Amino acid sequence: MRPAWSVLLLTTLIGAGQGLYLALFAARAQGRFLLIGCALVLGFLAAGLLASFFHLGRPERAWRSAAMWRTSWLSREVLALPLFMALAAAYGWTQDAAIGWLGVAACLALFVCTGMIYACLPFLQEWRTPLTVVNFILLGSASGLTLATALAAWLAPARVQGYVIAALAVGAAAYLGRLASLARNARLRPKSTLATAIGVKHPRIAQIAQGAMGGSFNTREFFHGRPREVVRAVRWALLALVFPVPALLLLAGAPLAAFLAQYAGLLAERWTFFAEAKHPQNLYYQAIS
């Protein structure tokens, strides 16, 4: 699949915001620390929401995306995101525990909705696994904890050590989860063949031309179009920046640098997430004239 920057930014930004909210609530943050933290949560969520509009062909019709909430995980995400934003704002302002728990429920629901948008697709084997939802939750929580550590270093130094320990523990779990999904996807084999893709039963089929001189929507949207060297380099960036480098920076007492490095790693991780998904239609649209 083609990684769209709007979606990469949407999923990583709201994930970091969600993780930060959970980190604030779990530590029972109070006062200025909680108020500024929740404002930062809203900033990340708003930035992710803004990025998502660049993925829409008709942004003025964005409201229609919530209409299919009974059957569509995307519609449920569209509803869960503003609900979570409202609850995060209310919790930061009132610092009421009951509202905080409602925010946690909305936050987790948003994680599930975002992950299930991809995990519910049966024709994309790389995404059709519980690891997709688990990794969205763990990676978002890990980045949020690293961000909370940087925020605590500024506003609540006494909380830094606890946040560092939590960020390392959740970061390690997220890293192992992502390694598990990479290993799983490397073992997958296509369920379809070129013969089943076009409905022709013949042992030797080769595509000579697609019939479109400059490509088409299919060749642009369902394949990343990058050489193997680029894919390999991005995967190495994922492996280095999602956890090992941030962990070293956290231990060195540089939480803000750790978050920036980890966020770069999350962009690499999400790019890989889309690039490694092999759409079965590519069996037919293999080349252009």
pLDDT for 59: 67
pLDDT for 277: 86
Contact 225, 2 (CB under 8 A): yes
In-domain check, residue 71: yes
In-domain check, residue 183: yes
pLDDT for 22: 98
Among 38, 148, 25, CA closest to 93:
38
Burial of 70 (0-12, 13-18, 19+ CB in 10 A): exposed
In-domain check, residue 159: yes
- Provide the whole-model pTM: 0.90
Residue numbers of the domain that contains 183: 5-283
In-domain check, residue 288: no
Contact 190, 280 (CB under 8 A): yes
Place of tokens 């890990």: 142
Sign, CA torsion 133/16/256/164:
negative
Cα distance between residue 194 and residue 284, in whole Å: 6
pLDDT for 194: 72
CA separation, residue 253 to residues 149, 153, 160, 250 (Å): 10, 9, 9, 5
pLDDT for 214: 58
Tell me how many domains the chain contains: 1
pLDDT for 224: 77
CATH number of the domain at 237, please: 1.20.1630.10
- 3-state secondary structure labels for all residues of the chain: CCCCHHHHHHHHHHHHHHHHHHHHHHCCCCHHHHHHHHHHHHHHHHHHHHHHHCCCCCHHHHHHHHCCCCCCHHHHHHHHHHHHHHHHHHHHHHCCHHHHHHHHHHHHHHHHHHHHHHHCCCCCCCCCCHHHHHHHHHHHHHHHHHHHHHHHHHHCHHHHHHHHHHHHHHHHHHHHHHHHHHHHHHCCCCCCCHHHHHCCCCCCCCCCCCCCCCCCHHHHHCCCCCCHHHHHHHHHHHHHHCCHHHHHHHHCCCHHHHHHHHHHHHHHHHHHHHHCCCCHHHHCCCCCC
Instruction: Indicate the angle between helix axes 31-53 and 5-26, nearest 10 degrees.
Output: 160
In-domain check, residue 289: no
| Positions in the chain short of pLDDT 70 | 57, 59-63, 197, 208-216, 219, 283-289
pLDDT for 112: 98
In-domain check, residue 243: yes
In-domain check, residue 260: yes
Contact 133, 159 (CB under 8 A): no
Cα distance between residue 51 and residue 139, in whole Å: 19
Burial of 208 (0-12, 13-18, 19+ CB in 10 A): exposed
Contact 1, 223 (CB under 8 A): yes
Tokens (6 digits) for 288: 């252009």
Among 238, 241, 228, 225, CA closest to 271:
238
